[in-house]
Amino acid sequence: MTSTQNLSDYILYNYSKCSPDTSFLASWQGLAYPSHVIQFIGFPFQILTFWLILKKTPESMKSIKNPLMIAHILCTLLDFHFSTLVTPYMFLPSFTYIPIGILGLLRVPVLIQSFFMTETLIGKDCFVRFRN
């Protein structure tokens, strides 16, 4: 059985009076596909920014070049991680999620995905805090 069938059975037996919303925007695809498309469009701009920082930084800004490069790499990793690799489908107010990104399709355990997601957030946060 797939997870869709399990969800359908759950709705059928436990919420028989409720009608589930089956529109595209109410499904996991409504989050995953636009997120992947936005990352696909934005990634060339991130690469361009990487090149501009690396090659076109003026001499007066050479002292800030390395921290700027590290911050840009961490932001790009964070964008790629959240938009493509994990793409968390959040359930609030319990702050739980289902990973619907590429790692979810490859059946990488949720605990490992959560660890990587936490590490990218902490790495960016620590860099920003210690840099200031």
pLDDT digits (tens, 9 = 90+) for 15-58: 656 666 778 888 888 888 999 999 999 999 999 999 999 999 89
Rg (CA), the chain: 20
Per the domain annotation, does 43 fall within a domain? Answer: yes
| pLDDT score, position 94 | 79
For 98-120, write each residue's pLDDT tens digit. 888 898 889 899 889 888 888 88
Whether residue 4 has pLDDT greater than 60: no
Parent domain of 57:
28-131
Structural domain count of the chain: 1
For residue 94, the number of C-alpha atoms closer than 13 Å in the C-beta half-sphere is 5
Per the domain annotation, does 7 fall within a domain? Answer: no
| pLDDT score, position 15 | 61
Positive or negative, the CA dihedral 9, 32, 74, 131 is negative
* Distance between CA atoms of residues 91 and 53, nearest Å: 38
Per the domain annotation, does 86 fall within a domain? Answer: yes
| pLDDT score, position 19 | 67
Whether residue 64 has pLDDT greater than 80: yes
| pLDDT score, position 67 | 85
* Distance between CA atoms of residues 63 and 46, nearest Å: 21
* pTM for the full predicted model: 0.71
Q: Which residue has the tokens 């409504």?
A: 30
Per the domain annotation, does 95 fall within a domain? Answer: yes
